[in-house]
Structure 1
Amino acid sequence: MSRWDFGDQTLTTLARSTSGATDELSNLITQLIQAAEPLSGKFNGAGKAAFDSFKARADGITADLNSGLGRVNEGQYGMQSAFSSGNQNMADDANRNMSAANFDAAKFRTA
């Protein structure tokens, strides 16, 4: 059986990192488009068509990447919520069961 061992804030930290990576990726795509702009007039034929297509689709590509990573991010926060509530439920159940247990009956008595 596998055991998952992580801190209380592991998924929250991961979600923050994913969010930061999403912003960074968007910025890098924007920088790529800006850096490629001087090449705009250098292509002819199929190369020009591919370059123009890339520029025209860059915003859509960025939006698709942001949407996908946003959903990953939502999943990470949802997992954090599920693990936190499960952890709390487990503690509550253990406390409830301990309060109902008869620990005196388990003591060894010497005669």
Structure 2
Amino acid sequence: MKFDMGARRLDGLRQQTAESSQDLSTLIRSLVVAGEPLEGRFNGAGRAGFDSFKVHADQIARDLNRSLEAILHGQSGAARSFNQGDQQMAEEARTVQATAGFDAARFGNR
């Protein structure tokens, strides 16, 4: 198993999450529309559940979108931290390399 969490991977993950947010809202509304032909054909708890879902569909979509926005915010923070850490590590490596003495590694005449 390979763990790959590079900058491009994080950007792709953020993009997929943003697209999923839009898809979820559309799917919830499509579910309400798809169930409309069944309206009035069932009773009891099933009907009460569907009626409640239909009434609260917009709120459900908003709640799901808010949750995905929070995930997206976290992913953005992770990407920012990763990029800053990557840059800092590269700068520190250059600094250490610039001050390192490589004369001891020479195998030629001294």
In the TM superposition, 1:6-21 aligns within 5 A as: 6-21=5-20
Q: Which runs of 5+ in 2 are unaligned?
A: none
Report the TM-score when normalising by structure 2: 0.84
1: CA distance, partners of 2:45 / 2:82: 52
**d(CA) in 1 for partners of 2:47, 2:105:** 83
* Structure 1, unaligned runs of 5 or more: none
CA distance in 2, matches of 1:98, 1:65: 49
**TM-score where L is the length of structure 1:** 0.84
1:1-111 correspondence to structure 2 within 5 Å: 4-110=3-109
Aligned residues: 110
AA matched with 1:85: Q
- State the one-letter code of the partner of 1:55: K
Task: Kindly report the root-mean-square deviation, in angstroms, between the aligned alpha carbons of the 2 structures.
Answer: 2.1
71-80 or 82-91: which moved more? Answer: 71-80
Pairwise CA distance, 1:44: 2.9
Q: Which amino acid aligns with 2:20?
A: A
Moved more, 25-34 or 67-76: 67-76
The offset of 1:56, in angstroms, is: 1.4
